[in-house]
Amino acid sequence: MQLFGIEKNQDEIQELIKSNLKSNWKIDRISKVNLSILELAIYEIKYTEIPFKVAINEAVELAKRYGEENSKTFVNGILASIVKEADE
């Protein structure tokens, strides 16, 4: 189950989020909704065989539906940065 996978890999997932935030942002500044969406998407990208484009698209759709006005841009930016970093 994904929930247990996210919990098991929480430290690495949190570190990926922290390292891809702009310098003036802290992880505790991210809304709980956006943080949950990011954690789920990062887990899917790193630990499952779901294509990263699908994981990002689903995360952006969740952010549009449940997040604030600019959540989709924020979530997309963090995830795109993580994928780009992984490809290097």
The Cα 60–Cα 77 span in angstroms is 10
CB 63 within 8 A of CB 29: no
The position carrying tokens 């891809």 is: 20
Sign of CA dihedral 77, 19, 42, 48: positive
CB 9 within 8 A of CB 17: no
What would the pLDDT profile of 4-50 be if each residue is shown by its tens digit?
A: 888 999 999 999 999 999 888 899 999 999 999 999 999 999 999 99
Domain range annotation of the chain? 2-87
pLDDT(88) > 80: no
Which pLDDT belongs to residue 78? 96
pLDDT(83) > 90: yes
Which pLDDT belongs to residue 16? 94
Which pLDDT belongs to residue 3? 67
Q: Does domain 2-87 have CATH number 1.10.940.10?
A: yes
- Mapped onto helix, strand or coil, the DSSP state of residue 67 is coil
Is the pTM of the predicted complex or chain greater than 0.95?
no
